[in-house]
Structure 1
Amino acid sequence: MKMSFSPPLCFLIMLSLLSLSSFNVSCRGQEQEDGSSGAPMERGEQEALYSAIQGFVGKWWNGSDLYPDPCGWTPIQGVDCDLYNGWWYVSALNVGPVYENSLRCAQDARLTHHLFELKHLTTLSIYSCFSSPRRNPVRLPIFSWGALSNTLESLELRSNPGLVGTVPASVGSLKRLQSLVLLENGLAGPLPMELGNLIRLKRLVLSTNGFAGQIPPALGGLNSLLILDCSRNNLSGQLPLTFGGLTSLLKLDLSGNSNLDAPLPGELGNLRNLTLLDLGGNKISGGLIRGIQEMVSLKEIVMSNNPTLRGDLTGIEWAKLEDLEVLDLSNTGLTGRIPESMTRLKRLRFLGLSDNSLWGTPPPELASLPCISALYLNGNNLTGQLDFPGTFYGKMGRRFGAWNNPNLCHRLPLTSSSSLAVNVPFGVRPCSRAGNASGNRTVSSLLIAEMSEGDDDLHRDLQIEVSSGWPSRGVNGSGWGSTSKEMMALVWVLLLVMFE
């Protein structure tokens, strides 16, 4: 049977055939010279990528078979690519157990020279890869970093205890670097002064290594720096005076170095944009600098566990720090009174003044701070009456500390139950009539406290009944008059005074 086609149908069939022909030509046009399909990638770039990954995961990994087109149809997890002049190049390499199908390192993982042959690498991240400093210690290459000086913008080496040795000076040649994170590794030795050449750096995190020696003053020239974290190392000496030039800095954390032992430089007061200052766990001396009150953006000040700091709190106008939320000055050798200006820190959530030598009576306005959720005054020489409301103690619980102040006492609050232990500060004795700490005159002090509270008859009746064992109602069931009740309370006070 002969088939016939109308002219419109013939046109559609021819158009479809032409489309299929174009598709086949397009696919063939994308084939590379080595026969693999996908977007074009330089052979040298591809081989360098495969060899660099093999250094991390082991020689069993055959990239050319598993991922013949690593930037196209068969991408590798952790590898990002960008087009340059019509060719694919690796722009980011992330190694480590970030995702389930991420590249995971072998026990004998190592850094190979192929890594530095990736011509357009901007980001290198190695996480939890070099795990054993004994079985497989790995050192950063000394001379290779210059090959990435015009491309690398982010270098992050995290949680690699097997990464040992020093930071080579050649890292300072990475002139485009914006983020340098060397966190929780086994690195040690002095910090190279060449780090001061990284003038585009915005984040410098060197925390939790074994770095020793003084902080290079050259770091003070990193004018674009936003975050500087050298915490939990073995750094020593003083904070460089040049740090006053880090005017863009938002976070400065030098805590846990143990051997930073000089006074704070007054130049720190220039850091008007700083929101976090953490210098805890050192041996800083010389007291708090007045320049702290000029750091008006501060949200957190942590100076705890610097027992040689000393000085007092009265030389600083705390009210200027309107954004302050955390102030931890515990175990810093402070003396003197708690200044009234601290009671105007309306955003303060945490105030730690424990384990010092502070004296005087705590300002009662501290309990009225609208955001306060933790207040520690324990371990001082505070005296007098702790005049905070019972509701404050109930709200704070153990987040309020005033114990280990032998001459500090509290005023027993009114309660609506028979338990006198409700809403009282832990470890603080009730006051006697003279306002001193006493442990055996709770009833008389309770009555005096009740009488001074005002006209809350119900609470007063309940407390008299609990204290004396006498009913607070008359024989006919009606309540006593206010004059009778006041007289009865006075009689009990006089009796207790006579027989004490």
Structure 2
Amino acid sequence: MSLSGRTDGHFVVLSLMMVGLIGTCVYGENDGVSVGAPMVETEQEALYSAIQGFVGKWWNGSDLYPDPCGWTPIQGVSCDVFNGFWYVTDLGIGQIHDNSYPCAQNLEFRPQLFQLQHLKSLTVFNCIISPSQGLISIQSANWDAFSSTIESMEFRSNPGLTGHIPSSFGNLKKLQSLVLIDNGLSGGLPANIGNLTVLKRLVMSGNLFTGKIPESYGDLSELLIMDLSRNSLSGSLPLTFGGLTSVLKLDLSKNQIEGEIPSEISNLKNLTLLDLSNNKISGGLTFASQEMSSLEELILSSNPISGDLVNFNWNNVHRLMVLDLSNMSLTGAVPESILSLKNLRFLGLNDNKLLGNLSSRLANLSNLTALYVNGNNLNGELKFPKEFYIKMGRRFGAWNNSNLCFPIAKSYVSVRPIGVKVCHE
């Protein structure tokens, strides 16, 4: 519950938004001093060298951009005034604008990057494209230099960026957003990320991470988004996740996580999205031991969870809009207690081992626009009103239930569900 924007293009570019700060003193002691404010020479030289490390030695910043925070701004660079001088606060390297510079084949994180004294945000987007550029790692860089300034770091769509997450990331005490999406990073997740007490967004999806999720991640009490999806993480869900009391979206899908869903998950009163799909989770549906009043999307599909739907307390998740429990080896009947989900729009129960009749009262869920019960052992007649079939159209899936049938009538011929046989009189 993600979290996830991508752009196309043939060049690797140096870019973010071009920000004009002339006339605005954000941190200066005197309003108005930013007009014509100078830039500290060492800061300017560090900026030129840092950019050159990414785009190549051919790039001559002093000739192209003699006043990088003033009348010759650099795309991807934003500045603020501190004590009457311009300093770089945001640096973006990435494929955002079509007319920007390609990254060099032998790019490097130069030491000068870490001499930018007030850098708050660093973005590297679609820059390190292929391992054929050489193995490029972020491990050896001096990230501790940003320990008191950096608030946001994002490495997105850099498949040629390899190696482990530096343990020094855990020392960036002001970090509020750490985004590592679709890179070639591997190894375990550093436990000391749990020390980042002001972290609000932790997104590390689409890498090659392995091992267990550290229990310390449950200490991130201000976290709003956690997305560790599309990796190879294993082990069970930490019981400490009950401490993520501010989290809105928790996405751990497409990993190798096993064990039960701990009841501590129901402590997450602000949670709107829980996606644990495509893992190895088992143990039945037992986690909602108390009301999860904000939960809108519950996606548990493609797990060997097993068990039935009858004993789950649907009233504790009564605000659900999306419920995907497909391919979970569920048994038993589809209970009418699921009718308490008045806001439900999508219900996926397909590819299980469900038995019995399908209650026509499901048509009373006025917001429901997609219902999939295909691939089960349901039986009897489908007795939904004609209006229900018309509304659902192809979003009603009931095929591959060998003992389920449709009571054909002249007025119903046009709405017969795909793949459901006609009942014999």
- The answer to whether TM tops 0.5 is yes
Compute the displacement of 1:207 (Å): 0.2
Cα distance in 1, alignment partners of residues 241 and 410 from structure 2:
53
- The answer for the alignment partner of 2:158 in structure 1 is 160
Cα distance in 2, alignment partners of residues 107 and 144 from structure 1:
22
Matched, 1:67 2:65: yes
Matched, 1:411 2:403: no
Cα distance in 2, alignment partners of residues 78 and 220 from structure 1:
34
Structure 1 residue corresponding to 2:121, chosen from 120, 123, 147: 123
Compute the displacement of 1:316 (Å): 1.8
Answer whether contact 2:88 2:116 (CA < 8 A) is retained. Answer: yes
Q: Summarize the alignment of residues 264-275 of structure 1 with structure 2, pairs less than 5 Å apart.
A: 264-275=261-272
Matched, 1:338 2:330: no
Matched, 1:326 2:322: yes
Q: Which runs of 5+ in 1 are unaligned?
A: 1-36, 434-500
Structure 1 residue corresponding to 2:254, chosen from 245, 253, 256: 256
Compute the displacement of 1:414 (Å): 4.2
Letter in 2 for 1:302: I
Matched, 1:309 2:301: no
Identify which of structures 1 and 2 has the higher relative contact order when contacts are C-alpha pairs closer than 8 Å and 6+ apart. Answer: 2
- The answer for the alignment partner of 1:453 in structure 2 is none
Letter in 2 for 1:106: A
- The answer for the alignment partner of 1:96 in structure 2 is 94
TM-score normalised according to structure 1 size: 0.76
Answer whether contact 1:77 1:101 (CA < 8 A) is retained. Answer: no
Compute the displacement of 1:388 (Å): 0.8
Letter in 1 for 2:285: L
Cα distance in 2, alignment partners of residues 290 and 47 from structure 1:
56
Q: Summarize the alignment of residues 143-182 of structure 1 with structure 2, pairs less than 5 Å apart.
A: 144-182=142-180
Compute the displacement of 1:38 (Å): 4.6
- The answer for the alignment partner of 2:43 in structure 1 is 45
Letter in 2 for 1:153: E
Matched, 1:427 2:424: no
- The answer for the alignment partner of 2:85 in structure 1 is 87
Seen in structure 2, the aligned counterparts of structure 1 residues 293 and 345 have a Cα distance that, compared at 3 Å, is: farther
- The answer for the alignment partner of 1:276 in structure 2 is 273
Compute the displacement of 1:320 (Å): 3.7
Compute the displacement of 1:428 (Å): 1.0
Cα distance in 2, alignment partners of residues 53 and 143 from structure 1:
15
Compute the displacement of 1:331 (Å): 0.2
1:150 match: secondary structure: coil
Letter in 2 for 1:273: N
Matched, 1:384 2:376: no
2:211 match: secondary structure: strand
**1:426-475, CA deviations, whole angstroms, 9 ceiling, x for partnerless residues?**
11112223xxxxxxxxxxxxxxxxxxxxxxxxxxxxxxxxxxxxxxxxxx
Letter in 2 for 1:424: R
2:281 match: secondary structure: coil
Answer whether contact 1:41 1:89 (CA < 8 A) is retained. Answer: yes
Compute the displacement of 1:408 (Å): 1.1
Answer whether contact 2:53 2:108 (CA < 8 A) is retained. Answer: yes
Answer whether contact 2:139 2:163 (CA < 8 A) is retained. Answer: no
Answer whether contact 2:109 2:141 (CA < 8 A) is retained. Answer: no
Letter in 2 for 1:286: G
Matched, 1:192 2:190: yes
Q: Summarize the alignment of residues 347-496 of structure 1 with structure 2, pairs less than 5 Å apart.
A: 347-415=343-411, 421-433=413-425
**1:137-195, CA deviations, whole angstroms, 9 ceiling, x for partnerless residues?**
21003351110000000000000001000001111000000000000000000001111
2:274 match: secondary structure: strand
1:422 match: secondary structure: helix
- The answer for the alignment partner of 2:199 in structure 1 is 201
Cα distance in 2, alignment partners of residues 104 and 180 from structure 1:
24
**1:385-417, CA deviations, whole angstroms, 9 ceiling, x for partnerless residues?**
1111223223322211111111111222442xx
The more displaced of 157-166 and 130-139 is 130-139
Compute the displacement of 1:217 (Å): 0.5
Matched, 1:289 2:286: yes
Letter in 2 for 1:139: S
2:132 match: secondary structure: coil
Which structure's residues are more often helix, by fraction? 1
Percent of aligned positions that are identical:
58
Letter in 2 for 1:425: P
Letter in 2 for 1:93: L
Cα distance in 2, alignment partners of residues 363 and 136 from structure 1:
60
Compute the displacement of 1:99 (Å): 2.2
Answer whether contact 1:311 1:334 (CA < 8 A) is retained. Answer: yes
Q: Which runs of 5+ in 2 are unaligned?
A: 1-34
Compute the displacement of 1:220 (Å): 0.4
Compute the displacement of 1:103 (Å): 4.7
Cα distance in 1, alignment partners of residues 289 and 128 from structure 2:
41
**1:78-116, CA deviations, whole angstroms, 9 ceiling, x for partnerless residues?**
100011110100000011121234454223322211111
TM-score normalised according to structure 2 size: 0.89
Seen in structure 2, the aligned counterparts of structure 1 residues 292 and 353 have a Cα distance that, compared at 3 Å, is: farther
Cα distance in 1, alignment partners of residues 343 and 101 from structure 2:
45
- The answer for the alignment partner of 2:11 in structure 1 is none
Q: CA RMSD in A?
A: 1.5
The structure that has the greater radius of gyration is 1
Compute the displacement of 1:322 (Å): 3.0
